[in-house]
Amino acid sequence: MKKLFLALVATMLFVGGAAAQKKFEEQSIGVRAGLNISKVKTDGVTYDGMAGFHVGGVYQRLLTKSIPLYLETGLYVTQKGFKVDGNNKANAFYFEVPVLVNYKFSAGEEFILYPSAGLYYGIGFAGKSKVADVKFDTFGDGGFMERSDLGVRASFTAEWHQLLLSAGYDYSLFDAGKDGKMKNRTFFISVGYNF
């Protein structure tokens, strides 16, 4: 079974590498926007998810000409948060920089598919929270969340000509709460365009 798996991976890399020489660009710049469904897990309790958004620009660069492996980075503005008992909620806005590795492969003449995996780093710049009808800043002196958020990201993208559709998941590695034991979890769907 292990030999079969290795042979399959080697074949994929060879076919993908041949396709990269014919079809894939060496670099691209694009824009992305979409929907976030985020929540927070703390002390074994997962709070209700909340809808938000993300918008940003991305840059992709081919790492090697023999394999269609790309480095992707960019800058996003993204909204995360959560709800507690329907009425209490927290909004958190971040500037985020992802650093991902993409492996592209052709799916017929028109489509390119690629999984992505890597890290993201976010810095919180704004946010409002409400608990028992009292409003306060999510970050800062009176807030309960740390501004820094580092995590892992995994996604899958389908590309048709210059249009893209992606779905993925972010998972915080470090505690986002000032009192610890709070981690952001975000599912996202994006649409995009490469110039």
* Positions of the chain with pLDDT lower than 70, given as ranges: 1-23, 44, 46, 86, 180
Give the other-Cβ count within 10 Å of 11's Cβ. Answer: 10
The tokens of 152 are what? 């892992």
Please tell me the predicted confidence (pLDDT) of residue 99: 98
Of 83, 82, 80, the residue nearest 96 (C-alpha): 80
**Which residues, 6 or more positions from 158, have their beta carbon under 8 angstroms from its beta carbon?**
107, 111, 112, 113, 164, 165, 166
User: What's the predicted TM-score (pTM) here?
Assistant: 0.81
Sign of the dihedral through C-alpha 56, 61, 66, 69: negative
pLDDT at 4: 42
Q: What is the pLDDT of residue 42?
A: 76
Is residue 55 a contact partner of residue 76, using CB atoms and an 8 Å limit? yes
pLDDT at 87: 76
Per-residue pLDDT, 17 = 45
Residues near 124 by beta carbon (within 8 Å), at least 6 away in sequence: 92, 93, 94, 138, 139, 145, 146, 147, 148, 149
pLDDT for res 86: 67
**Structure confidence at residue 142 (pLDDT):** 77
Residue-level pLDDT at 143: 81
pLDDT of 3: 52
